[in-house]
A and B are shown apart, each in its own frame.
Chain A
Amino acid sequence: MFSQMVVNGLANGALYALIALGLTLIYGVMNLSNFAQGEFAMVGAFAAYFLKQLHMGYLLTVILSFAVAGVVGLICYFLAFYPLRRSNPLNMMLSSMGVSIFLVNLSQYIFSPTPKVVETPFSDQSIQILGVYLSEQRLLIVIVSLVLCGLTYWVLERSKFGRSVRAASIDPDTAMLYGIPTNKISMITFVVGVALTGIAGALTAPIYNVFPTMGISLTLKAFVVVVLGGMGNIVGAILGGFIIGLIESFSAGYISTGFQDAIVFTILFLVLIFRPQGILSKVRGEKV
C-alpha cells in the first residue's frame, strides 16, 4: 500500500514537474505569473483528442499537441502579454487570468463540458515491478516528462540560446545592452513554456479524460510547485513537482481526497512563511 502510494505520487509528480517547468521558465524571463498555464494543458489535451479522431498514432498526437499549444500560446502572447511588457506585473497577471477565462469558456462553448475519452494503446495494461502496479500510460508520462525536463535543462545550461535566456531572466536591461534580443527571447520562452504544458495535457488526457475546466486545478498545483522549488528555479520546479505529487498521494491515502487541495495549499503557506525563497534557491539581498 505504502509503496503503491509512492509510485502513484511520483507518476503524478512527473506531470506536475513538466507543467511547473513551463511556468517557472515564463516567470523567470517575463516576470509573469501565468494563471493561464493549465489552460494550455487543456488545449494540448483537446488537440490530442481531435488528432486521435483522425486516426493518428497516439505518440504522433502527443508531439503535434506540442505544436498546437505553441501556436495558441503565440497568439495569446501577442494579444495579451506583448502590449504589457513594460507595465506593472499585476496587470500581466490579470491579463493572464483573462486569457484563462477566455480559453476555458471558449472550449466549453465549442466542445461542450462533457468529458471526452482519449484512447491509447497503453491504457489498459499495467505492469508489475516489485509488487507495485503501474499502468503503462503512467510509465510513459514519467519517461516523457523526465526526458523533456532533462532536455530543457541541457538547453538552458549548455547552449548559447540557453545562456541568453538565463541572462534575460537575471537582468533584462543589462542583457539587452549586451545585444541579447530580450523581446524575442521572452516570446520563445513563453511559447516553449506553454507548449511543454500542452504535452503534459496530451499525456494526462487518457487518464483523467478531457474537459474544459481541467486546467484550473493544474494551474494551482503548478504554482505551489514553483513556489516550493523557488520562483524561476528550474531544478527546484522539477524536484518540487515530485514532492507535491508524493504529498498529494499520501494525503489522499491517509486523510481524505476532499481536503487534498486545502492540504497542498497549507504546505504552500508553510513554505512561504519559513522559506519564501523556495527549498533550493539562496536568499538574495534586495537592492534599493
Chain B
Amino acid sequence: MTRARKIYFLAIAAICIFGVYGSLYLQNLYLLRVAILAVITAILALSVDILVGYTGQISLGQAGFFGIGAYVMGILNTNFHLPFWISLVFAILFTGFVGFVLGLPTTKLKGHFLGIATMGFGVIVNGVLNNWTSVTGGPNGIRGIETPYFFSISLEYGNYFLGFALASLFVVILLIFLIVHSPIGRAWRCLRQDEITAYVAGINVYKYKLIAFMLSGGIAGYAGSLFAGYMTFISPETFDLNQSISLITTVIMGGSGTLLGPLLGTAILSFVNEWLRNFSELRLVIYGFILVTMITLLPEGIYPFFKRKILFFFTSKKKKRSIETEGSNGKDVVNE
C-alpha cells in the first residue's frame, strides 16, 4: 500500500467513525429519514458503479436486484418467521445468484443491447412482484417486516438505524476499494477499456463480467434488505424502471468509475429531490430539466470534473502547457 493510499484510507476510516457517531446526535426526524434513505441509495449507487463505472457495462435494471433483496427479506421474515439477520444472508446470497443467472446470457451483450436486456430484467421483476399475488402480495406489498436488533440495540430508533446504515455503507466502500485494487479490479479496468484487447491478453472476460454482476446484485440486494428493515413495508412501485433510471443517473452525474462520484451524486440528488418538494407538481419537470442540463454540460460527471480542475490549479505552468496541447489533440479523437 502506497503512502497516499494509506492517507486516503485513514481519512475514510476517520469520516466513518465520525459519521456513525454524528448520526446518534441528529435530532430532526425528517432529516433523519432523508439521511437514512440517502445512505441506502448510496449503497445502491455504488452497486451500479461496479457495473457502469468499473466494468464498463450498463445496468438499467438495478431496481430489480433492489426489489428482489427487499422481497426475499420480506417473505422470509413475515411468512417463514426467520430472524432479520438470517433473512439478510439469504437475501444477499439470492440476489448474488440472480445476478449470476442474469449475467449468464447478458455478459455476451454490450452497449445498447445490454442496456435493453437489463431494462427488461427490471421490468420482468416488477411484473412478477405486481402479479404473483400469492407470494408477493401483489400491488398491496408486504407489511410488518421486523426491524432488526443489533446486539440488543433496537434499530427501531432512527439514529441507531442511520448509524448501522452508515457503517454498512463504509463496509461496502471498503469492499469495493479492496476488490478494485485487486487483480479482479485490474481485469475489470482492462475489459472496460477494450474487451477484445482484454481477451487477447488472456483475461477471461465473461468470468470477470459475471463476478461484477454477482457482486453488484449482492450489494443491491443488501440495500434492498436494509430498505425493507427500515420501512417495514414494501410494495412493487418502489422498484420500478424510474428507480433504475434515477440510480444510473446518480452514478453518471456524480462520476462513474470512482468511489466518491456516486456518493457525491447521491448527496446532490437527495438534496435536490427534497428541495424540489417546494415545487410540488413541477418537481419532476424541474428534475428532468436538471438531469438533461447536467449531462449535456458535464458529461464526465461532477466529481471527475472538479478533481481535474483542482488538480490543474495545482500543477506547474510548464506541465499545464503540455496538458493543454494534449487536451486539444484529444478532442479530435472520435469517441467510439
Please give the residue numbers on chain A whose beta carbons come within 8 Å of chain B beta carbons, in ascending order: 27, 33, 79-80, 83-84, 86-91, 93-95, 97-106, 108-109, 173, 216, 220, 223-224, 227, 231, 256, 258-259, 261-262, 265-266, 268-269, 272-273, 276, 286, 288
Contacts and interface: CB of A to CB of B under 8 A. Distances in A.
B36 interface: no
Contact of B105 (A90, A103, A269, A286): A269
B289 A91 contact: no
A94 B256 CA distance: 13
A89 B111 contact: yes
Interface in B302-336: 334-335
A86 B335 CA distance: 6
B147 interface: no
Contacts of B296: 79-80, 83-84, 95
B285 interface: yes
Contacts of B52: 90
B119 A102 contact: no
Contacts of B115: 33, 90, 93
B123 A90 contact: no
Contact of B288 (A84, A91, A98): A98
Contact of B112 (A27, A98, A286, A288): A27
B147 to A, nearest CB: 32
A231 B112 contact: yes
A211 B109 CA distance: 35
Contacts of B287: 101, 105
A118 B239 CA distance: 33
B292 A220 contact: no
Contacts of A286: 196
A89 B112 contact: yes
B282 interface: yes
A101 B105 contact: no
Interface stretch (B3-11, B75-83, B125-133, B160-168): B125-133
B196 A288 contact: yes
Interface string B242-270: 10010011001000000000000000000
B26 interface: no
B174 interface: no
B285 A102 contact: yes
B103 to A, nearest CB: 12
B111 A265 contact: no
B38 interface: no
Main secondary structure on A side of the interface with B: helix
A108 B283 CA distance: 11
Contacts of B111: 89
B137 interface: no
A220 to B, nearest CB: 7
Contact of A33 (B108, B116, B245, B281): B116
Main secondary structure on B side of the interface with A: helix
B125 to A, nearest CB: 9
Range class of the B interface residue count: 35 or more
B106 A262 contact: no
Interface in B108-145: 108-109, 111-113, 115-117, 119-121, 123-124, 127-128, 130-131
A122 B295 CA distance: 44
B123 A261 contact: yes
A219 to B, nearest CB: 10
B109 A220 contact: no
A98 B196 contact: no
Given A88-B335, A90-B58, A33 B112 contact: yes
A43 B296 CA distance: 23
B236 to A, nearest CB: 12
Contact of B252 (A90, A231, A259, A266): A90
Nearest to A96: B292
B249 to A, nearest CB: 6
B113 A231 contact: yes
Contacts of B112: 27, 33, 89, 93, 231
B21 to A, nearest CB: 37
B299 interface: yes
A224 B335 CA distance: 27
12 contacts: A83-B297, A87-B335, A88-B299, A88-B335, A103-B288, A109-B282, A173-B334, A220-B119, A227-B113, A231-B113, A262-B128, A272-B117
What are the 3 tightest A-B residue pairs by CB atom distance, in nearest-first order?
Answer: A102-B288, A98-B291, A101-B288
Contacts of B284: 101, 104-105, 108
Given A94-B295, A220-B123, A266-B124, A100 B288 contact: yes
B261 to A, nearest CB: 14
B193 interface: no
A99 B292 contact: yes
Contacts of A258: 127, 130-131
A199 B226 CA distance: 46
Given A223-B119, A261-B127, A276-B109, A87 B299 contact: yes
B273 interface: no
Contact of B295 (A95, A109, A261): A95
A108 B106 CA distance: 36
Contacts of A256: 131
A268 B117 contact: yes
